[in-house]
Amino acid sequence: MTLKDLLADSPDNSLSGIKWHTLKQSIVKCLLSIGDATILELSTELQSSIPTITKAVNELLGDELIVDSGKISNSGGRRPSLYSMSSDKTYFLGVEANRSSTSFGIQNLKEEFVSIELNTAFVLENTYESLMEFCGCIDTFISDSQIDKSLIIGLCVNLSGRINSKEGFSYNYFFTENRPLVEILSEKIGMPVYLENDTRAMTLGEYAQGVVEGEKNVVFLNYSWGIGIGIITEGELYYGKSGYSGEFGHSPLFDNEILCHCGKIGCLETEASGWALVEQFKQALADGRTSAISIDNNSSSIQQYHKLLSGVLIKEDSLCIELITKQCEVIGRALASLINILNPELLIIGGDFSQLGDFVLLPIQSSLKKYSLGLVNRDVALKKSILGRRAGVIGACRVVKEKMLSPLA
């Protein structure tokens, strides 16, 4: 029996069969919660007899779902064994797709990566052909990982834009059929699939393994080609009614008549984003400004965007730094309104622009101090993401773990 089997309904529909299946689920839940335990501790926690727990534990040992971690010392007498979940029998798959690449990762129960691949070239388009290529990339990664596919209990895919996680719909990419994307992916990949907004997954990843140090109220800024935020309130990821929370980049802040990708005019993204930087850079050159960076007008906007970011890191180009500084001042002002409303403990700057370090952090921090309430500003710490592309993959794996193990809750 695999954990996937244990998560399903009991194969024995008799009352005793269901009761026995539920007991083994409870043991697994307990071990997942506390890490490891003795027979006596499991018996006490689950209020079941020692012989019954022993029999169930032996079956789980036989299925290799749990392992004997060795004897523990005590004051005298026979030393009891300590049992814990087997980390190499259950895996979670996380996949993040952005406009120009995909990232993949497989984690075990201890949330350790057993296989990870970041920034694989892939062009994300809202077409059936792109969807099929995407599924092929996932299958190839699973095959190359050499992990038994039957032990991967679920997959979470992160995409940008409007994502309805509850119903499994993506309204910006792979919206090729009038049915949930998770159904299509599940059929193609052959396992349960969940869908998450990329920024929310990154937020969850940072909260799980990033710079968060016990804070329960956190705002994560994904400053990349577009702009989005993820919100943690009292330790829980905030979704809103249908999962569309966090569309920070589409705040209507400007009377500039610039058409945003969302179809509205004057959004924050029209003045501060990766795609806005490309347009601002081109306009500056047209106005006679000079730069150490040259971009190929025959290349895609995404390629030009990455060229500008690398130009700042490698050449410290003054024009690009000036444009990004202005963007960060705008973002800081918008964030000031946000922290005045939410009063978070921690603000994390993530996404592609976060790799620029102080070129981004310092003007945002200065703008926050200028426009936010002093008392509120003193409450919030500002940090840069340390996870990079790994944040979204970690978050996706965490989504699978939480969703698939929810029957044990």
The overall longest dimension of the chain from CA atoms, in Å, is 86
Residue ranges and CATH numbers for the domains of the chain are 3-85 (1.10.10.10), 91-203+392-405 (3.30.420.40), 213-385 (3.30.420.40)
Q: Which amino acid is at 156?
A: C
pLDDT score, position 279: 96
pLDDT along the chain (409 residues), means of 10: 84 92 91 87 93 94 91 72 89 94 94 95 91 95 95 94 89 83 95 95 95 96 96 94 90 93 93 97 96 92 94 94 97 96 97 96 97 94 95 96 77
Name the residue with tokens 């052909």: 129
Single pTM value for the model = 0.89
Query: Rounded to whole angstroms, how far apart are CA atoms 377 and 361?
Result: 15
Q: Which helix (H) or strand (E) holds 206?
A: helix 198-209
pLDDT score, position 3: 84
- Each residue of 283-314: pLDDT tens digit? 999 999 999 999 998 999 999 999 999 999 99
pLDDT score, position 406: 74
* Nearest to 125, CA basis, from 99, 158, 103: 99
- Each residue of 106-164: pLDDT tens digit? 999 889 999 999 999 998 998 999 999 999 999 999 999 999 999 999 999 999 988 98
Compute CA distances 256 → 157, 214, 259, 335, 351, whole Å. 35, 41, 9, 20, 25
pLDDT score, position 23: 94
Contact 103, 120 (CB under 8 A): yes
Q: Which amino acid is at 338?
A: L
Query: Rounded to whole angstroms, how far apart are CA atoms 243 and 163?
Result: 6
Structure tokens at 112: 């350790």
Task: Say if residue 214 is exposed, middle or buried (CB neighbours under 10 Å; 0-12, 13-18, 19+).
Answer: exposed
- Which residues, at least 6 apart from 61, have a Cβ–Cβ distance to it below 8 Å? 67, 68, 83
Contact 346, 217 (CB under 8 A): yes
Q: What φ, ψ does residue 348 adopt, rounded to 5°? A: -105, 130
Query: Rounded to whole angstroms, how far apart are CA atoms 238 and 350?
Result: 18
What sign does the CA torsion over 167, 199, 248, 125 have? negative
Q: Give the other-Cβ count within 10 Å of 256's Cβ.
A: 11
Contact 185, 193 (CB under 8 A): yes
What CA dihedral angle connects 224, 229, 230 and 233, to 10 degrees? 150
Q: Which helix (H) or strand (E) holds 228?
A: strand 227-233
